[in-house]
Amino acid sequence: MKKVTNFIRRKSLIYKTAVEYGDYTINHVQGCSHGCRYPCYAFLMAKRFGKVKSYEQWVEPSLVENALELLDKEIPKFKDKINSLHLCFTTDPFMYKYDEISNISIEIIKK
Ligand code: SF4
């Protein structure tokens, strides 16, 4: 097993996606330990928008530490607007060997 060592706080979690088949989405992890080289579109976007500086930083996932807290505030706000909510567009929410990430993904699904 691997432990998450990087944590970030966000001001919001649920957002309307511009992806054509999507509605709303949640991304509670930044980065992805799989580190696919084909290349990964999520990595390219994270780099372009300054969320990560390098491939090495990308493959060390950062967990949004206030994800559940934000959902408690945002679910009542968005519940009448949401048709579907993707978990998640920018990484693997059940990342291999990262139980902390899988566990929080399950908690999010429960909510
Ligand atoms: S987000 Fe998807 S494509 Fe990108 S590194 Fe992770 S598994 Fe690979």
Q: Is residue 27 part of a domain?
A: yes
pLDDT tens-digit readout, 12-30: 999 998 888 889 999 999 9
32 lines ligand 1 (CB under 6 A): yes
Total count of domains within the chain: 1
| Domain region containing 48 | 15-91
Residue 39, domain member (yes or no): yes
Q: For residue 64, what is the enclosing H or E element?
A: strand 62-64
Closest CA to 28 of 99, 110, 86: 86
Which secondary structure element, helix H or strand E, spans residue 7, and what is its range?
strand 6-8
pTM here? 0.91
In a domain, 4, yes or no: no
Note whether residue 62 is domain-resident. yes
Kindly state whether residue 66 falls inside one of the protein's structural domains.
yes
Is residue 84 a part of any domain in this protein?
Answer: yes
Q: Identify whether 34 is part of a domain.
A: yes
> Could you report the per-residue pLDDT of 39-88, keeping only the tens digit for each?
899 999 999 999 999 999 999 999 999 999 999 999 999 999 999 999 98
Mutation to probe ligand 1, out of 25, 43, 51, 59 (largest number of atoms < 8 A from CB):
43
Encoded tokens for 89: 């567009």
Whether 2 is in a domain gets the answer no
